[in-house]
Structure 1
Amino acid sequence: MSDTVPVNSDSDVASIPTIFDPATCTRKGLCPVTQLRHDGSPLSSHSLYFEQHGTGPEKIVFIMGLNSTSFSWFPQVDHFGRRPEYSILVFDNRGVGNSGVPRGPYTTSAMAEDVVTLLDYVGWTAERDLHVVGVSLGGMIALELATRIPNRIVSLTLAVTRAKRDVRASLPSLKGVSSLARLLGMSDPEAKIPVVLDMVFPRAWLDAPAENDAQGRTNREVQTIEYRKRFEASRPQSPFGALSQMAAGLTHGVSPARLRSISSSIPKVLIVTGDDDYLVDPANSRHMKACMPEAELVEWAGVGHAVQVQRREKFNELVERVIGEGRSKLTDGWKSAEVEGGQS
């Protein structure tokens, strides 16, 4: 099965709805991706929808998670896209949003190859010039990306994600599995919103007053409006795309040896998780830290799966710190442990 995005001209791309501020957008488009068989013949072709915001020297690529579009990075695009220090790249993974739906099931390694193609397409190819931020399935893709192009990465932020390849680690909690199954059978966005909210945020936080909200609304009320905007601006996801992305998450695995290699070959690695996550057990983050001695682990109390939304200011501050520390290590003469050991 293959499904191409029904837009192929500059005017068509410009007309694709977005929730991001057009004032900060420097480029939006469709990146063509062709996967080849071992004999060199085409296996499948699809396009990745992307947007670039900001013009600063520090380049950040944000990789979104399971069955979510790039719109889920709104708090980060709104923040970093306005800052003079940063240029950011967000995109829809294959199988969701305005990107194509190639043959499935997908793998995180193939989705990482998509990202390499996109980075090459937009010209982000220099050594030690890139900051990678991945959440959930996006963090799994980021691990595969870090295996492929470690010399291009300054910092790597792995949020609410995992590396273990086993059934216990890969499956969400019972509540997470139930929510994902219910969403597969839903087509009405208004019916989906409460299910999504209860899946990615702790109930106590949803029912609490929203911070600095002049109207005195709860977080649930505010997020219902935010998610409605995302759904209204997004193409509906096909069940095939959703299931193919789920397959990528279920089959993902990075060995302890590869984790150690990633940890030693990138100047700054951060692992961040909440302690109230229904989709990815925080124990997965602790496992990664045990295998990545150079990495930093941050755990937030009372935080669910959508860390970049629930703790938007703290998350943005954390990413800024990680970017600065990675750049400082390079300035101070940091060397990859593999290079120092003569392995690469």
Structure 2
Amino acid sequence: MPWVRTSDGIRLHYSESGRRSGPPVLMIQGLGADKHLWNLQRLALAPRYRTIAFDNRGAGRSDKPYGAYTMEQMADDAAAVLDHAGVESAHVIGASMGGVISQIMAIRYPERIRSLVLACTACHHHAWRKELLADWADTAQHEGMAAMTAKAARWVIGPRSFRRLAPALGWMGPLGFSRPAHAFAGQVAGILSIDDGLAEQLPGIEVPTLVIVGNQDILTPRGDSEEIAEHIPTAELVVISGAAHGFMIEHATTFNRIMLDFFERAEHAVAAELPIASPDAAVG
């Protein structure tokens, strides 16, 4: 499993799977997650695509420096992973915080992006969400990661799944967030530092883009995805009925089907240098 060292000295861990000769897909996870949360998608992509999944700084097996991170640093990290893997351009899929990193990457490194999948993410702050994330960081640092996980679970897991999983959250927390609180707080600081001018730069994105959200997502509600889709000229919006913030796991079959269909169309568009816009859709 390869390691790459970034320009500021941080070591990042990544792994590859799937078809080595296939179109590359770079996968960027969100706050509190490591590359393994893409496992269900990597299995679905493996027969045709080469997947590259990495741990953001502050997560998984990557370095966990003290202090605040920035989304720009993390976009540069993603580009460094592509460099190390010898990939000139890739389809990029980002979830939640990873979706923000993907947007910034598409703005900073447009030549590296074949297409974008932006899942359960946003392009600007809400005051309530800033307060919520700051509270999570404070809880992590003063009460521990398990307490933070229990507090955050209702915002990430759908109501039905939450009722089923609630008894297990006490021991699942340390497994799902197996890193020190300072690293989690560093990622939160990066999110809170995002310039709301990001939305104004999105019209410059020209690659095929899929914006996807669950209609029960309360952390990054549908309106956030609608805003992104309105700003990116090439974007299409898909809403998954009954899905919450963690639909990549809870509704993996539906999400994977949508993702595979999009990547197939995006590959054709890249080859033909044509747009692939399709009507906005809701999926039950």
Instruction: Establish whether TM, by shorter chain, passes 0.5.
Output: yes
2:194 paired with 1:252: yes
2:130 paired with 1:171: yes
Counterpart Cα distance in 1 of 2:158 and 2:2:
35
Which residue matches 1:243? 185
Q: CA 1:101–1:194 in 2, change beyond 3 Å: closer, same or farther?
A: closer
5+ residue gaps, structure 1: 1-27, 36-44, 208-217, 336-344
- Assess if the C-alpha contact under 8 Å between 1:97 and 1:236 holds in 2: yes
Q: CA 1:177–1:247 in 2, change beyond 3 Å: closer, same or farther?
A: closer
Counterpart Cα distance in 1 of 2:245 and 2:135:
15
Structure showing greater radius of gyration is 1
- Assess if the C-alpha contact under 8 Å between 2:16 and 2:52 holds in 1: yes
Which residue matches 2:99? 139
Query: Which digits, 9 at most, give the CA deviation of each residue in 1:40-72, with x for residues without a partner?
Result: xxxxx2100111111241211110001211121
2:19 paired with 1:55: yes
Equivalent position amino acid for 1:67 in 2: G
Q: Normalising to structure 1: TM-score of the pair? A: 0.71
Q: Normalising to structure 2: TM-score of the pair? A: 0.85
Equivalent position amino acid for 2:155 in 1: M
- Assess if the C-alpha contact under 8 Å between 2:137 and 2:188 holds in 1: no
Counterpart Cα distance in 2 of 1:102 and 1:63:
19
For residue 76 of structure 1, the aligned residue among 38, 41, 44 is 41
Equivalent position amino acid for 2:112 in 1: R
Which residue matches 2:238? 298
Q: CA 1:302–1:98 in 2, change beyond 3 Å: closer, same or farther?
A: same
Q: CA 1:111–1:301 in 2, change beyond 3 Å: closer, same or farther?
A: same
**Larger helix fraction of residues:** 2
Equivalent position amino acid for 2:34 in 1: T
Which residue matches 2:72? 109
1:34 is paired with a residue of what secondary structure?
coil
What's the C-alpha RMSD, in Å, of the aligned pairs?
2.7
Which residue matches 1:24? none
5+ residue gaps, structure 2: 276-284
Deviation at 1:279, TM superposition (A): 2.2
* 4+ residue segments displaced more than 6 Å: none
Q: CA 1:278–1:321 in 2, change beyond 3 Å: closer, same or farther?
A: same
How many residue pairs were aligned?
272
1:98 is paired with a residue of what secondary structure?
coil
